[in-house]
Amino acid sequence: MKSDGSSKSDARTKIGYHTKIPRRTHLESLQSGYLFPEISKQEAKHAQNNPHAKIIRLGIGDTTEPIPDIITSAMAKQVYSLSTVQGYSGYGPEQGNKEIRKAIAETFYQDMGVKENEVFVSDGAQCDISRIQILLESSLSAAVQDPSFPAYVDSSVIFGRAGNFQAETNKFRDIVYMKCGPENDFFPDLSATPRTDVIFFCSPNNPTGSAASKQQLKKLVEFAKANGSLIIYDSAYATYITDDSPKSIFEIPEAKEVAIEVSSFSKFAGFTGVRLGWTVVPEELLYSNGYPVIKDFNRIVCTCFNGASNIAQAGGLACLTAEGYKALRTAVGHYMENAKILVDTFASLGRKVYGGKNAPYIWVHFPGLSSWEVFSQILKKTDIVTIPGIGFGPGGEEYIRVSSFGHRESILEASRRLRKFL
């Protein structure tokens, strides 16, 4: 047994018993730390150096507004029923309760032909992305929007489909990075994109805030279909769309043959800590041998997962009642007003600003500057935490992502500081 102090020394210098279990080579190629914990560390360091700073967090996209009473009441009712003989229930179906699967199909996929048995309720979209990774052979190739939410690349690294990290390009060797910027209306140039087995696509995109149009998604589905590729579509921010951009890939009818959609109650209902999401796997989606993907996904859900919390599910069901849904629009509206304040702030500073219209994220351009440097300067000068764009891929360099999740007074204070110090 080693002394307590040894845990702080460099791991590789430890003297102690070693098992014969090799470390997975894929894990060795993961970069310095998952982006969000890394940001938290930098923030903690800043707070330590500046104990009186009133830090405003516009970094990690974490909801801040209370959950409407109608929804917490439904959860509390479920909680109390667990204390009664009549109301107690144990394991539910691994795929989620029938009522909420049905309500999700009807609320978000009306007229798209998504059936309740194609909806799998989960503890969140990020967790479902890894469950989908379990489905796939590690030899399959993958493409991501560049920039995009880091979990697609990081989970691809963990599951062994990314290859080595190339420091000179800031890319993993076997991942195809589909550049999305103002020059292509934040939609990849598919004519220049090589075929991959899997295409991760997030719309509205995190971090750019850009939502793909129906015409663009049609092209994406055609591209996938021509290549026999699988689209893993992340619609976690769909409820923030204000224009006529599709809220689901399944608004394109043929998408059911090539796409899985993951989504979430996190940003829509303030459930980031409650944990509730879902995945739609259409029956029409078939492997090359004709076997339905839904059957394997169901098996993985039953073996590697055991269903979302019954309390969270009761809350989710309340979100999808007419009254609950209406109450949630208020919070979404609040964050989108915040977005407008932040867009105006950066625009007034002469910056090119994207996003903030169909998503609660603002994507600000700082031409010629390193995004980590911009992040550090903003933190230093204004005590505001943002996210350096490069954390979302090499295409995010020169940008920062600013989240509009926050109380109004924080957003206004952030706006004042930015106007004054930047």
- Return the residues of window 100-139 that contact a second copy according to CB under 8 A: 113, 123-124, 126-127, 129-130, 133-137
Nearer to a second copy, 292 or 394 (CB): 292
* 29 CB-contact burial (10 Å; exposed 0-12 / middle 13-18 / buried 19+): middle
Chain residues 223-242 in contact with a second copy, contact rule CB under 8 A: 225, 227-230
- Ramachandran sector of residue 22 (left: φ over 0; alpha: ψ -120 to 50; beta: rest): beta
Q: What type of residue is 387?
A: I
Nearer to a second copy, 223 or 366 (CB): 223
Rounded distance between C-alpha atoms, residue 6 and residue 268, angstroms: 44
When asked if residue 3 is in the footprint of a second copy (CB under 8 A), the reply is: no
- Backbone phi and psi for residue 412, each to the nearest 5 degrees, phi listed first: -65, -40
Nearer to a second copy, 94 or 146 (CB): 94
CB of 346 to a second copy, least distance (A): 24
Query: Which residues are registered as beta bridge partners of 365?
Result: 399
The number of CA neighbours under 13 Å toward the Cβ of 266 is 23
Rounded distance between C-alpha atoms, residue 375 and residue 382, angstroms: 11
Query: Which residues are registered as beta bridge partners of 175?
Result: 142
Contact pattern for a second copy over residues 66 through 85, marking x by CB under 8 A: xxxx--x--xx--xx-xxxx
* Cα 58 to Cα 19, 124, 410, distances in angstroms: 43, 22, 9
- Taking CB under 8 A as the criterion, the residue among 29, 219, 222, 292 binding a second copy is 292
CB of 373 to a second copy, least distance (A): 25
When asked if residue 148 is in the footprint of a second copy (CB under 8 A), the reply is: no
Give the binding range for a second copy (CB under 8 A) out of 100-108, 270-278, 385-393, 412-420: 270-278
Nearest CA to 330 out of 66, 125, 104 is that of 66
Both tokens assigned to 203: 């719309």
Chain residues 301-330 in contact with a second copy, contact rule CB under 8 A: 302-312
When asked if residue 286 is in the footprint of a second copy (CB under 8 A), the reply is: yes
Chain residues 381-420 in contact with a second copy, contact rule CB under 8 A: 405, 407
Torsion of CA 215, 221, 222, 228, to 10 degrees: 170
Nearer to a second copy, 267 or 357 (CB): 267
Q: What type of residue is 23?
A: R
* Cα 155 to Cα 34, 178, 381, distances in angstroms: 10, 17, 34
Both tokens assigned to 102: 């049905």
CA dihedral sign of residues 40, 45, 50, 52? positive
Chain residues 167-206 in contact with a second copy, contact rule CB under 8 A: 197-198
CB of 358 to a second copy, least distance (A): 21
Both tokens assigned to 124: 């969140």
Rounded distance between C-alpha atoms, residue 319 and residue 337, angstroms: 21
Nearer to a second copy, 14 or 54 (CB): 14
Nearer to a second copy, 334 or 357 (CB): 334
Nearer to a second copy, 256 or 357 (CB): 256
Contact pattern for a second copy over residues 30 through 69, marking x by CB under 8 A: x--xx-xx----------------------x-xxxxxxxx
CB of 394 to a second copy, least distance (A): 19
CB of 196 to a second copy, least distance (A): 11
- Taking CB under 8 A as the criterion, the residue among 270, 355, 391, 395 binding a second copy is 270
